[in-house]
Amino acid sequence: MEEAVKRILNNVKEGKIDVDEAVKQLKLYPFEDLGYAKIDHHRKVRQGVGEVIFAQNKTPYQIKGILESLTRNNAENIIITRLNEEAADYLKDKADIHYYKEAKIAIVNEKKYDEPFGSIVIATGGTSDMPVSEEAAVTAEALGNRVTRLYDVGVAGIHRLLSNYNELADARVVIAVAGMEGALASVIGGLVDCPVIAVPTSVGYGANFGGLSALLSMLNSCASGVSVVNIDNGFGAGFLANMINRMESCK
* 210: contact with its own copies by CB under 8 A: yes
Residue with smaller CB distance to its own copies, 95 or 216: 216
Among 87, 103, 122, 228, binds its own copies (CB under 8 A): 228
* 74: contact with its own copies by CB under 8 A: no
Residue with smaller CB distance to its own copies, 96 or 163: 163
Among 88, 108, 140, 183, binds its own copies (CB under 8 A): 183
* 174: contact with its own copies by CB under 8 A: no
One DSSP character per residue, the chain reads -HHHHHHHHHHHHTTSS-HHHHHHHHHH---EE-SS-EE-TTHHHHHSS--EEE-TTS-HHHHHHHHHHHHTTT--SEEEES--HHHHHHHHTTS-EEEETTTTEEEET----SS-EEEEEEEESSGGGHHHHHHHHHHHHHTTEEEEEE-S--GGGHHHHHTTHHHHHH-SEEEEEE-TT-THHHHHHHH-SS-EEEEE-----GGGGGGHHHHHHHHT-SSTTEEE--TT-HHHHHHHHHHHHT-----
Select the span of 9-17, 67-75, 91-99, 234-242 touching its own copies (CB under 8 A): 234-242
**CA 195/CA 237 separation, integer angstroms:** 12
Check if the beta carbon of residue 83 is closer than 8 Å to that of residue 101: no
* 224: contact with its own copies by CB under 8 A: yes
* 217: contact with its own copies by CB under 8 A: yes
Among 6, 13, 27, 101, binds its own copies (CB under 8 A): 27
* 233: contact with its own copies by CB under 8 A: yes
* 245: contact with its own copies by CB under 8 A: yes
* 141: contact with its own copies by CB under 8 A: no
Among 6, 7, 24, 92, binds its own copies (CB under 8 A): 24
Cα-based distances in Å from 195 to 4, 47, 55, 175, 186: 39, 20, 29, 9, 12
Select the span of 67-75, 90-98, 103-111, 225-233 touching its own copies (CB under 8 A): 225-233
**CA 69/CA 51 separation, integer angstroms:** 11
Q: Under rule CB under 8 A, which residues in 95-124 are in contact with its own copies?
A: 117-119
* 243: contact with its own copies by CB under 8 A: yes
Among 41, 121, 177, 221, binds its own copies (CB under 8 A): 221
Select the span of 11-19, 84-92, 103-111, 154-162 touching its own copies (CB under 8 A): 154-162
Total residues contacting its own copies (rule CB under 8 A)?
Answer: 104
CB of 214 to its own copies, least distance (A): 7
